[in-house]
Amino acid sequence: MKLLTTLSLIIFFISCSENKLNRLDFLVGTWKNSEKGLYEVWEMDENNTLKGYSYTLKNNEKVISEFLRIYKLENSTVYEAKVIHQNEGKAILFALNEKIKSTLSFENNNHDFPKKIQYKRIDINKIEVKVLGDNEQGFSYFYVRQ
């Protein structure tokens, strides 16, 4: 009986941690913001890490503006952004606010701007991204799946 209880608890905790990552699955793919000509690409690797990048097209060539990653770090889900030609090439980390269920809200209140990067699934082919600073000031835009 103890073995069955222990196994049940292990399976429960593994499924809970996987569910947190599964919550991010909708991001996988290529997304386009037609107004800004901005693209964001996300792929899931074999370690359940989402890897991505943002780019624009210039003369039909990709010009990458940032590299992105979402992964587990200790007990948190972390969004990592490395913006080209900013912050000496160092990554900025934002932790997923697990209390917010309707939106993926990655937050770092110690960063100057942004303090929050939020992804909200509108439907299977559309997401809203908000980039927010102090007092929830910032900007938002929509991506459409390509």
Indicate the pairing of strand 61-73 with strand 76-83: antiparallel
Express each pLDDT in 79-123 by its tens digit. Answer: 999 999 999 989 999 999 999 999 999 999 999 999 999 999 999
CATH code of residue 121:
2.40.128
Longest dimension (CA), the chain: 66
118: left (phi over 0), alpha (psi -120 to 50) or beta: beta
pLDDT, tens digit (0-9, with 9 covering 90-100), for 17-43? 444 557 899 999 999 998 999 999 999
Cα separation, 54 vs 26, whole angstroms:
17
Beta strand pairing status for 126-132 and 92-96? Answer: unpaired
Would you state the pLDDT for residue 22?
Answer: 77
Structural domain boundaries enclosing 131: 2-145
Number of domains in the chain: 1
